[in-house]
Amino acid sequence: MLAAALLAVGPVPALGQPVQGEDAPPARTVEEAVAEDLGLTMDEFVRAGATAEQAAGRLGLESGRGGDLDGAPGVGRLTRQGVVALETGEAGTPYSAFEDLDELRERYLAEMGPDGLTGLAYTLEGYEVLVDDPDAVRERGRASTTGEVVSPSAWATAYPGVSVVGTTEPAAAGTVRGGASISFGGASCTHGFNGWYKGDQVGLAAGHCPYAGGTAVSYGGYRLGTVTWWQFGAPGSAWESYGTDLTTYSLTAGHSHPASVTTGSSTVTITGRTPAVLGLPVCKMGRRTGWTCSVVNKVGWQWIGDGSGDITRPKRWVWSLFADLQVIPGDSGGPWIAGHKAVGVTSSYDWYDDGRPYSTAALLTSLDDYRPGAQVKVWLGRPRISSVEMTGDTSGRARWADDETVSGRLSQPSGDSISPGTVVDVWVDGTRVASPGVSGDGSFSFVYPGSDSRSHTVKLRARQGDSRGTTLTVADEPAGEVPSVVRHAGENRYGTAAAIALARFPAGVDTVYLASGRGFADALSGGGRAGTDGSPILLTDPVTLPAATRDALTRLAPRRVVVLGGTLAVSESVAGELRGIAPTVERVGGANRYAVSAAIASTYPAGQSKVFVVSGEAFPDALGAAAVAGRRGVPLLITKTARLSDVVAAEIDRLDPAEIVIVGGPAAVSTAVESSLAAYAPQVTRVGGADRYAVSAALADRFTSPAPEAWVARGTDYPDALSAAPAAALHGGPVLLTKSSTLPSATVTALERDVRAPVIRIAGGTASVSSAVRSELRWLTYQ
């Protein structure tokens, strides 16, 4: 071996410094910015803001999306005449492709999926879909898998007024990882690791770098920080001393400092610190030589001289690992790793007498002796707990009981282990209640101290020294009775109706009712009759019997099929197909929907306890009524909003009810109709509410609470709710309405407080009732 080792430090040219002021953009007044950037005068700028503020209340814009009113755009547009509401969904506008953003969102999620979707918006030209990559053709988790996989841009071509815009995350500040080229004054070195010292972020490299060059640390020509401690040999760096070769230096807030080291175009995550042991495979990174790897073949003292090679001159001894690797000046301080574990930083190099190179690294375990409190920054994952249902990347829900043992696992790279000393801090409602240790395989457990009677916010985060992992926030729901949730769905409305009929009615049922899937009136009128008879209702295209409907009829094998509506609703060709399936096919028709409704009601005897009356012009308020009428075995008739149809009035007169129940507010069934109905029954009552969701909740509260089961269906369309009505009637439950993507508060209240059904059934696929709503239903709690 040569008599002396050289410092792995080389001189470097003078480094550039940040420009101080001369290249900064000139300061502008707000008036200048408005004029130059907007082309407006300050008066015009001021008026625009004032106009928008004054219009907000008039157009319902002040609360973001305009509240929960169906059809309310919640968006305005500034014109020369002031702020006007966007006419969304209206023919001839850029927004005619969809009724509103909700419909656009549901269509996109169904046909494309959520992966990569970053936003949906109105623009002056129409709708805009924001995605991470507009031209990427890939499977994005779509609900409907029947269509071709296309890019977002290609998808948008089918919808006028819809454009797709790509988005990228803003560029982060400079990132400094281990292995980066840095300089200590005039000495060129390599950044070893990001670390901590008593809660402050620091860098870790070789102690001889500041000894040789200075305490000002630069990165890419900019000031990175200042040396806060260094040691080259023993404390005080005396000659002929034994110690280490390490330094710590501050890191500026202008950069990010992840727990990783560079590997060219990728990174290696650092998850811990390991001592050097003989036979350990290690790799080192240097600014001059890059990545090279070998095996630890010695651990011990290495003397480092002044570069002269004269072993009689004063020298320092450094506790080191040895490996047969070559380093050259400039590599000093660079990281040595074993897998995901930090081992040391490049300290020196030399050659054996046969000419083979070797190098040494100052061990990071020396920090415990010479710089207590300094540590390598490590990456810690997110706690994963099987009893938590995730609602987002870092949030979830659970139902934990007091004194329950909660077990989880901390995520880690494949094949890796969790660093010793790692704990998971557990906070309940802001108070830390436990800090269980994490085993090498990532497992941990703790006894939960939260009460069963109320909700709690629980946060869990891994901690190892000053390093922290990602926080998992868990909403702990109160313990209590909880519903099971079942979805009944097909590929479309016909498939969903078939799925409901096959699941909830036995084969060999006496009668099946068949209505058009293109209009709600006949199915609404007949749904109550079907429920009274214990029969399902199926839907058909007016001119073609769908395959799903045909299959359901074949499997149900009814004695009789009752067609609801005239030949415009269900053609004779469809009726002819039905005759090949069932022995008897009957039609209940009439001149119009009101006549059909009266004809269906005529199958009930006179002297009814109740008759339900709903709008035949708009379906929203009426969707929950068919199930209630069917369950109670009473007729349901439809009416015009402003006037009671003569044929309906005549049928109500024949039925001679003790009570007429109007379902819906005056906008659905007017007060004039209510007054007319008073002539046909001693009591006329109305079940109304603020919107369709409140109406369905009020019906459930009054007529079907509590219930053995409940159905939930989309309230912005009718087929699924009407298909569910006879099944709900047969099994004693209501049909409650929901929005596609959120569960309305009125529906939540009705289910939790009034209905309390142990089973909740969803009518329709995820395009109708999203997975998010299904999750909300699963987490209802009956106290």
Kindly report which listed range (109-123, 317-331, 364-378) carries the lowest average pLDDT score.
109-123
Output 614 or 478, whichever has higher pLDDT. Answer: 614
Strands 610-615 and 659-663: parallel
In a domain, 41, yes or no: no
The one-letter code for the residue type at 596 is V
Are 654 and 725 spatial neighbours (Cβ–Cβ below 8 Å)? no
* pLDDT score of 570: 96
Kindly report which listed range (120-124, 457-461, 694-698) carries the lowest average pLDDT score.
120-124
The one-letter code for the residue type at 690 is A
pLDDT tens digits along 188-229: 999 999 999 999 999 999 999 998 888 999 887 778 889 999
562 and 645 in a single domain? The answer is yes
Q: Which residues contact 127 (CB under 8 A, 6 or more apart)?
A: 94, 95, 97, 98, 101, 104, 120, 121, 159, 161, 162, 163
User: Sorting pLDDT into bands at 50, 70 and 90, what band is 172?
Assistant: very low
Kindly report which listed range (157-171, 370-384, 451-465) carries the lowest average pLDDT score.
157-171
Helix (H) or strand (E) holding 223: strand 222-233
Q: Where among 376, 407, 424 does a domain terminate? A: 376
> Is the dihedral angle over the CA atoms 102, 108, 110, 116 positive or is it negative?
negative
CATH code (residue 403): 2.60.40
201 and 263 in a single domain? The answer is yes
User: Sorting pLDDT into bands at 50, 70 and 90, what band is 391?
Assistant: confident
d(CA 40, CA 33): 9
Averaged pLDDT of the chain: 86
205 and 321 in a single domain? The answer is yes
> How many folded domains does the chain comprise?
3
Mean pLDDT of 765-780: 91
Q: Where among 447, 476, 505 does a domain terminate? A: 476
CATH code (residue 190): 2.40.10.10
Are 361 and 22 spatial neighbours (Cβ–Cβ below 8 Å)? no
| Token representation of residue 188 | 């060129």
pLDDT over 90, % of the chain = 57
360 and 391 in a single domain? The answer is no
* pLDDT score of 271: 93
| Token representation of residue 450 | 């939260």
* pLDDT score of 266: 66
Nearest alpha carbon to residue 284 among 205, 196, 369, 210: 205
Helix (H, G, I), strand (E, B) or coil at 14: coil
pLDDT over 70, % of the chain = 89
Output 25 or 384, whichever has higher pLDDT. Answer: 384
* pLDDT score of 47: 74
Kindly report which listed range (17-31, 306-320, 392-406) carries the lowest average pLDDT score.
17-31
pLDDT tens digits along 131-146: 878 888 877 777 777 7
In a domain, 585, yes or no: yes
Mean pLDDT of 639-665: 96
In a domain, 145, yes or no: no
Q: Where among 426, 455, 476 does a domain terminate? A: 476
In a domain, 489, yes or no: yes
Range(s) of the domain holding residue 396: 383-476
Tokens 């003569």 sit on residue: 646
User: Sorting pLDDT into bands at 50, 70 and 90, what band is 169?
Assistant: very low
369 and 402 in a single domain? The answer is no
What's the longest Cα–Cα distance across the chain?
Answer: 123
d(CA 94, CA 629): 42
Mean pLDDT of 39-58: 72
Strands 266-269 and 341-351: unpaired
Q: Does residue 659 surpass a pLDDT of 90?
A: yes
pLDDT tens digits along 524-574: 999 999 999 999 999 999 999 999 999 999 999 999 999 999 999 999 999
Strands 181-184 and 187-190: antiparallel
* pLDDT score of 17: 29
Are 549 and 523 spatial neighbours (Cβ–Cβ below 8 Å)? no
* pLDDT score of 596: 96
User: Sorting pLDDT into bands at 50, 70 and 90, what band is 733?
Assistant: very high
338 and 448 in a single domain? The answer is no
In a domain, 43, yes or no: no
pLDDT tens digits along 51-86: 766 776 677 665 444 334 344 446 778 777 787 877
Are 530 and 513 spatial neighbours (Cβ–Cβ below 8 Å)? yes
In a domain, 265, yes or no: yes
Q: Does residue 644 surpass a pLDDT of 50?
A: yes
Mean pLDDT of 6-13: 32
pLDDT tens digits along 218-265: 887 778 889 999 998 877 655 667 889 999 999 887 788 999 998 666
User: Sorting pLDDT into bands at 50, 70 and 90, what band is 4?
Assistant: very low
* pLDDT score of 34: 62
In a domain, 91, yes or no: no
535 and 468 in a single domain? The answer is no
d(CA 305, CA 245): 12
Are 512 and 540 spatial neighbours (Cβ–Cβ below 8 Å)? no
Of 27-31, 191-195, 482-486, highest mean pLDDT: 191-195
Are 628 and 679 spatial neighbours (Cβ–Cβ below 8 Å)? no
The one-letter code for the residue type at 556 is L
User: Sorting pLDDT into bands at 50, 70 and 90, what band is 362?
Assistant: very high
**C-alpha dihedral, 138 to 103 to 771 to 716, nearest 10°:** -160
354 and 310 in a single domain? The answer is yes
Backbone Cα Rg of the chain: 37
In a domain, 603, yes or no: yes
Q: Which residues contact 445 (CB under 8 A, 6 or more apart)?
A: 405, 406, 407, 408, 436
Mean pLDDT of 592-611: 96
* pLDDT score of 80: 78
Q: Does residue 584 surpass a pLDDT of 60?
A: yes
* pLDDT score of 5: 35
What's 100's DSSP letter?
A: S
d(CA 105, CA 98): 10
d(CA 374, CA 688): 68
* pLDDT score of 10: 31
501 and 404 in a single domain? The answer is no
DSSP letters, 338-368, are: ETTEEEEEEEEEEE-TTS-EEEEEEEGGGHH
Q: Does residue 6 surpass a pLDDT of 50?
A: no
Answer whether 0.75 is exceeded by the pTM.
no
Mean pLDDT of 281-289: 87
394 and 368 in a single domain? The answer is no
Preceding amide of 708 cis, omega within 30: no
User: Sorting pLDDT into bands at 50, 70 and 90, what band is 609?
Assistant: very high
223 and 275 in a single domain? The answer is yes
223 and 367 in a single domain? The answer is yes
* pLDDT score of 207: 93
* pLDDT score of 314: 63
